């Protein structure tokens, strides 16, 4: 015999809302918009996840919130500190999946590296996340939740004791393939009632999804980084298969449109240096030629970080230095990214998390990419 049980209506995770979403949700509850903003401050300034403790929110509203929603950051499976102070969190998602977020402290700033997808479907040859395949997009709550968890751990206080001064969407996944959720999460990073970071301190890194770069420039004010890794199409297609769909000329055109729309900004081009692959003087010359046509850009050289099973190796230190010098001598602003946290596999391209059920989803993803559906994502 079936028993009739009252099904509780599904509670809503408030971390899924940006400011407007939160106001709309409060309107549905019959509450004034300023109430939403009050609660938003509790969530992001005081890092409070218990309505009980929101002392300036009336009892009746607290009870209403308790009944209809919750504040649900991802659960920490484990966290680990590297010898250099870098901190990595493995955060549990649904169904045994897990993603990683990394905090990189430096003397003048603290950067949080945030993931956007469980795994990644782009299959860049030198990236450890690629070997995991793709499972799914992260929700807004799961993206901003990474920052919430790190901020809470670090004792971050917005506008006072900022431990996280910068966020880079450079963790697992391709952020532009999870556009809406990533944009909502970044708007919470930027919002004064959220984490209150300036546009130049929130950076989205992409492997080069041209139409989405245009869309991003029209949607939100953040900084852009582009994973280049090679300045000729043949080599770039080998390293970053997405280049086949959006070759370098199209990518650079999109970057120039970005700069035209945001005249006072610059774009960072990431270039991972792999021994004998893309680190020779001729590669530097190609890169210089390409950068000459880009106003206001900088190159960020990343020494390759190895991971089990990779066929690539890190370039020798002298080769890296020579490569940088060649660019600098040609007037290209070039930084060398220091390798951080590699003793806990937290460095660029080493994030793996745990991705279940990847084969089927990977196959679906490939099919969609082949069909060109990704244009419409």
- Which parts are annotated binding residues for S-adenosyl-L-methionine? 173-174, 205, 227-229, 305
Contact window for ligand SAH (CB under 6 A) among 64-72, 99-107, 298-306, 326-334: 298-306
Closest to 99 in 3D by CA, of 112, 88, 83: 88
Contact status, residue 188 vs residue 195, Cβ threshold 8 Å: yes
Closest to 207 in 3D by CA, of 8, 369, 96, 3: 369
Q: Does 246 help bind ligand SAH (rule: CB under 6 A)?
A: no
Q: Which residue lies nearer to ligand SAH by CB, 140 or 243?
A: 243
297 catalytically annotated? no
| Residue from 118, 170, 209, 230 in contact with ligand SAH (CB under 6 A) | 170
Neighbours of 24 (CB within 10 A): 13
Contact status, residue 199 vs residue 221, Cβ threshold 8 Å: yes
Cα–Cα distance between 149 and 336 in angstroms, integer? 29
| Residue from 111, 187, 223, 305 in contact with ligand SAH (CB under 6 A) | 305
Q: What share of the chain is helix, strand, coil (3-state, %, to 5)?
A: 45, 20, 40
How many residues line the site for ligand SAH (CB under 6 A)?
17
Phi-psi region of 373 (alpha: psi -120 to 50; beta: other; left: phi over 0): alpha
Enumerate residues 171-210 that contact ligand SAH by CB under 6 A. 174, 205-207
Torsion of CA 13, 15, 17, 19, to 10 degrees: 140
Enumerate residues 211-230 that contact ligand SAH by CB under 6 A. 227
Least spacing, CB of residue 227 vs ligand SAH, in Å: 4
Backbone phi, psi, residue 157, to 5°: -125, 115
Closest to 299 in 3D by CA, of 259, 266, 268: 268
Least spacing, CB of residue 206 vs ligand SAH, in Å: 5
List beta partners, residue 252. none
Least spacing, CB of residue 350 vs ligand SAH, in Å: 6
Q: Which residue lies nearer to ligand SAH by CB, 187 or 278?
A: 278
Contact window for ligand SAH (CB under 6 A) among 17-25, 36-44, 124-132, 142-150: 124-132
Q: Does 100 help bind ligand SAH (rule: CB under 6 A)?
A: no
Binding residues are 120, 124, 127, 173-174, 205, 227-229, 305
100 catalytically annotated? yes
Options 31, 69, 100, 297, the catalytic residue:
100
Count of H-run helices and E-run strands, the chain? 11, 14
Those residues with Cβ within 8 angstroms of residue 205's Cβ, 6 or more apart along the chain or in another chain: 168, 169, 170, 175, 224, 225, 226, 227, 270
Q: Does 334 help bind ligand SAH (rule: CB under 6 A)?
A: no
Q: Does 272 help bind ligand SAH (rule: CB under 6 A)?
A: yes
Least spacing, CB of residue 56 vs ligand SAH, in Å: 39
Secondary structure (DSSP) of 204-227: EEES--HHHHHHHHHH---EEEEE
Options 69, 113, 297, 348, the catalytic residue:
348
Least spacing, CB of residue 224 vs ligand SAH, in Å: 10
Catalytic residues: 100, 348
Could you list the residues that contact ligand SAH (CB under 6 A)? 124, 126-128, 170, 174, 205-207, 227, 270, 272, 302, 304-305, 348-349
């Amino acid at each position: 015999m079936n028993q009739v049980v009252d099904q509780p209506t599904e509670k809503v995770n408030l971390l899924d809302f940006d400011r407007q979403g939160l106001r709309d949700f409060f309107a549905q509850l019959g509450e004034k918009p300023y109430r939403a903003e009050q609660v938003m401050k509790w969530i992001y300034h005081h890092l409070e996840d218990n309505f009980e403790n929101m002392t300036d929110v009336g009892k009746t509203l607290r009870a209403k919130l308790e009944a209809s929603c919750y504040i649900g950051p991802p659960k920490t499976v484990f966290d680990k500190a590297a010898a250099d102070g870098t901190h990595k969190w493995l955060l549990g998602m649904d169904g045994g999946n897990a993603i990683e977020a990394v905090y990189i402290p430096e003397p003048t700033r603290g950067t949080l590296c945030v993931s956007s997808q469980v795994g990644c479907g782009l299959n860049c040859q030198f990236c450890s996340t690629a070997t995991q395949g793709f499972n799914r997009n992260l929700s807004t709550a799961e993206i901003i939740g990474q920052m919430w968890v790190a901020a809470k751990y670090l004792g971050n206080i917005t506008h006072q004791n900022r431990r996280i001064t910068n966020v880079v969407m450079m963790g697992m996944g391709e952020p532009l393939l999870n556009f809406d959720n990533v944009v909502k999460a970044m708007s919470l990073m930027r919002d004064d009632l959220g984490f209150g970071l300036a546009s130049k301190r929130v950076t989205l890194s992409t492997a080069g999804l041209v139409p989405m770069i245009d869309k991003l420039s029209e949607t939100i004010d953040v900084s852009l980084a582009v994973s280049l890794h090679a300045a000729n199409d043949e080599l770039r297609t080998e390293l970053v298969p997405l280049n086949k769909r959006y070759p370098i000329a199209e990518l650079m055109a999109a970057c120039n449109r970005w700069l035209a729309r945001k005249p006072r900004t610059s774009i960072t081009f990431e270039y991972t240096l792999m021994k004998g692959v893309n680190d020779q003087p001729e590669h530097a010359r190609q890169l210089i030629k390409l950068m000459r046509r880009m106003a206001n850009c900088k190159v960020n050289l990343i020494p390759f970080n190895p991971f089990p099973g990779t066929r690539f190796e890190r370039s020798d230190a002298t080769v890296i230095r020579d490569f940088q010098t060649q660019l600098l001598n040609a007037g290209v602003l070039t930084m060398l990214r220091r390798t951080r946290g590699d003793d806990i596999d937290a460095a660029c391209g080493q994030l793996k998390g745990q991705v279940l059920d990847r084969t089927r989803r990977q196959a679906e993803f490939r099919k969609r990419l082949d069909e060109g559906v990704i244009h419409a994502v």
